[in-house]
Structure 1
């Protein structure tokens, strides 16, 4: 049997498996005897250890952390980094890095590699996903290997964490794609979680095996079966890590919402997890959760990062909130001037900056516009051009709303109510009325609300039964005939769905399938020819695709590739001549790619790198055309600065990047949970 490599499983690109500290678990609890599960989020990540040297830029990937003898020890896949936006060759992951530190935040001291591939040991070809536990004074490192005889889970032991010896008997077991082992003590036995592919239907699985001695393991069981299959070529069931707290078990699994994302599923049964138990999201690849007995931490590492990062792990009473699709957000106002809104980096207040003269490019200073807010706001534009701002209240309590006056000033903020997982999606219908679509914090409901009349201050009651469940906030756009169309991500990224008005301003269709598995919320825009185009992120972020209407307000052409590795669904913006311009940020934020249609609705130019050397972006840029027809691009860097770039003329080339003010804004990832 030929081994299934990480390249094959993740379509020659995405990464896999992280492991973590063993936790002392307990037998499955009885439903009804425990309080509800906690919701999981994470604070801002901090880079804490980079294995690069002056001569070599190196990455860490799947890793494990444990505390021993008063120090923390890190073991992880290490390899040579690829150029920005490109993935390294996982077949060359042949050693495990080792470092130690007095605390998870360091300072970390690098040591000699802990283990190097040994082809003479039952045909090892790679070393993936180490996980270390201690029992009876001996440290045991479980890891994934492979060779001509198939994927294998191997074991090496140590008494000092520096010298490791493979067990003489060979692999503990083999499988079709067995990899990414993680071991947890549950009651009186050890349980190993690892990823696998079902022999019967090709579904991606998290499997379990049980042991009394950490050497002999039972036949496998299935703890989680994902909707994605081997046929998709991409697995989103990598890096399984399970922790027990207060009788609940939490499965961390990814890559979800792109390469740098991990979902958390909660269950009372450590041997059964489902998407119904979704309990939050942690930004980062190969996340593991560890505790020093007082505080909890979420560690992450991956191909596109700079070593190990650490963030405070949050056990919340409320679900995490989602970031708005754009950061910052920009639109024309009633006076035909661009308005840019962002969140202050210090207190999350809403900031606003206004274009003073489209011809000479002057702008106002930043001003406080309200807040603080739970996410960057979203914007609607009334039929008369007045802006309406929709903001998420701090803590996700509800939505807030502020409306521009006809004279260009603003009414006061007012409560808007509704489900508050994110600022809502907004579009104007055929009657000229704004309609908003909002996601509930737990993703169970998509609600809809519309103005009582075009430009009115009043709104109809919320329709809480419009849709759901959903795995991300919905997006909406108007067809050429005015009919609205809403697109949604199914829980766990299992599929894309959509729903549309059957007549302008009329009733709605049922939800229908729009695409297979996706990694996050899509984007939608209308081109100069009146046809909608949807852009979506492939599972794990290995690429992005687009789908265009066959004719305005009509059916849909097939999906087509648009970019390679992407951190989120690409931005699509029409130029003055109707051609779409597309922008995609690579995972890690070091590369921004740009493509454009050669004619409205036509083929695409191969594209170019569009970012700035040495500048790392936190999110996919936002864009809008000013009153002259020139498109302006706005991008937030990882240090909270906004950079901007504008077309030299409508539908023309581009001016250089420049700073957009000196105020630091919140560097939030587009479309990702904001907490």
Structure 2
């Protein structure tokens, strides 16, 4: 009887496959355990990554540029790819000026103001595009929205503004990425109506037609993506009531009916997200006191009601989450001093007011630097840009106001 030949190559392959399977079985519990221990940050917490969340996409055998989605809306100051804070502001001659930190840390000297051109009727903001580039937006003197993809203060900006349309727009636009990475811009018109437009694809240069939203806006709107990925727009109406409107689904151009949050406010709202994933809204009353409202739970769109934090303030409050997820608010007094209030560790109560000093005519922006320290920018009563910052991450003390940034800016 012939002896059957043994194929040793097959046996070797089986041994290799069995070994790989064993490694998977060993590694899987480790992965599950690390997730259970919370090593992965919550999706709504800004970890200070200037590039945002990256989603690589492959087409055939070629990998395309990954989509980068920032958790933060556009503001006048934000981190670029190199980890430096970039700041934009409107100059005395209605041009847009940009500056950046000379090094990725708070308090470092600025690289110097660069004239980016344009014809600004309001204050500019910068947002991150899906390709990771900084994009500036401003409403022009012609009432249309202007866009500039070439905000590069370190190498010299280019006056390359593109008109995105819109009619009779005023004030400062609100910008954020949706869940897919498309930029969405919201702005108010002189008649108090609210308008929006958005990129037709993430990072694309084609924008959808402007459409009106069924919500009045007497002041500049605010926008934020909630912890489930839906964009939410907030605006104070001519009746003083703050209202909000949410996307009907992720990355769609359909919107739910507006919801009234009540109140009798004067001025624009400010929005931030706490480390529980709940949105918090801040606004000033007619007598100048600060009120805040918070969702009952993350992305619930159900609100607890307004609570007064006292004070006598003016202008737009600035709200931002610090490196530990604590919401910090800065507001300007009628005498030009900056006051600060922040959440306490229990996230249910608030600190007393802290005087951060200054002789400021207009607050411009607050942001985290690459080391997680808060930086606040403001235009002094003399017209120059000044800054103050935390000397320790998510803590004090704060540095004295510095006027090294210079420049000349409108104080109203």
- The answer to whether TM tops 0.5 is yes
Aligned mate of 1:519, from 247, 263, 266:
266
TM-score by length of 1: 0.47
Aligned mate of 2:409, from 655, 661, 665:
665
Indicate how the Cα distance of structure 1 residues 600 and 665 shifts in structure 2: closer, same or farther if over 3 A, else same: farther
The equivalent residue for 2:203 is: 455
Residues 22-68 of structure 1 show CA distances to partners (whole Å, capped at 9, x for unaligned) of xxxxxxxxxxxxxxxxxxxxxxxxxxxxxxxxxxxxxxxxxxxxxxx
| Contact 2:100–2:154 (Cα < 8 Å) also in 1 | no
Aligned mate of 1:623, from 343, 346, 366:
366
The equivalent residue for 1:572 is: 319
How much does 1:549 deviate? 1.6
Residues 344-387 of structure 1 show CA distances to partners (whole Å, capped at 9, x for unaligned) of 23x22211111121247232011111123112212222244322
The equivalent residue for 1:563 is: 310
The equivalent residue for 1:436 is: 185
Between Structure 1 and Structure 2, the one with more strand by share is 1
The equivalent residue for 1:487 is: 234
Residues 503-559 of structure 1 show CA distances to partners (whole Å, capped at 9, x for unaligned) of 222331101211122112211111233221100111242x11001122211122221
Q: Number of aligned residue pairs: give it.
A: 332
Indicate how the Cα distance of structure 1 residues 404 and 532 shifts in structure 2: closer, same or farther if over 3 A, else same: farther
The equivalent residue for 2:248 is: 502
Q: Within 5 A, what are the aligned runs for 1:86-125?
A: none
How much does 1:635 deviate? 1.1
Answering whether residue 286 of structure 2 is matched by residue 539 of structure 1, we say yes
Aligned mate of 1:426, from 172, 175, 181:
175
How much does 1:423 deviate? 3.3
Answering whether residue 213 of structure 2 is matched by residue 466 of structure 1, we say yes
| Contact 1:544–1:569 (Cα < 8 Å) also in 2 | no
The equivalent residue for 2:132 is: 385
Q: Distance in 2 between matches of 1:442 and 1:666?
A: 24
| Contact 1:580–1:600 (Cα < 8 Å) also in 2 | no
Residues 141-165 of structure 1 show CA distances to partners (whole Å, capped at 9, x for unaligned) of xxxxxxxxxxxxxxxxxxxxxxxxx
Q: Distance in 2 between matches of 1:663 and 1:381?
A: 25
Indicate how the Cα distance of structure 1 residues 406 and 472 shifts in structure 2: closer, same or farther if over 3 A, else same: closer
Answering whether residue 356 of structure 2 is matched by residue 610 of structure 1, we say yes
| Contact 2:136–2:151 (Cα < 8 Å) also in 1 | no
Runs of 4+ deviating beyond 3 Å: 404-411
How much does 1:568 deviate? 2.9
RMSD: 2.4
- Where structure 2 has 5 or more consecutive residues not aligned to the other structure, the ranges are 1-74
Q: Distance in 1 between matches of 2:202 and 2:250?
A: 14
| Contact 1:342–1:666 (Cα < 8 Å) also in 2 | no
The equivalent residue for 1:638 is: 381
| Contact 1:421–1:442 (Cα < 8 Å) also in 2 | no
The equivalent residue for 2:37 is: none
Answering whether residue 190 of structure 2 is matched by residue 478 of structure 1, we say no
The equivalent residue for 2:146 is: 400
TM-score by length of 2: 0.75
The equivalent residue for 1:595 is: 341
State the structure with more CA Rg.
1
| Contact 2:96–2:117 (Cα < 8 Å) also in 1 | yes
Q: Distance in 2 between matches of 1:586 and 1:406?
A: 34
How much does 1:402 deviate? 0.5
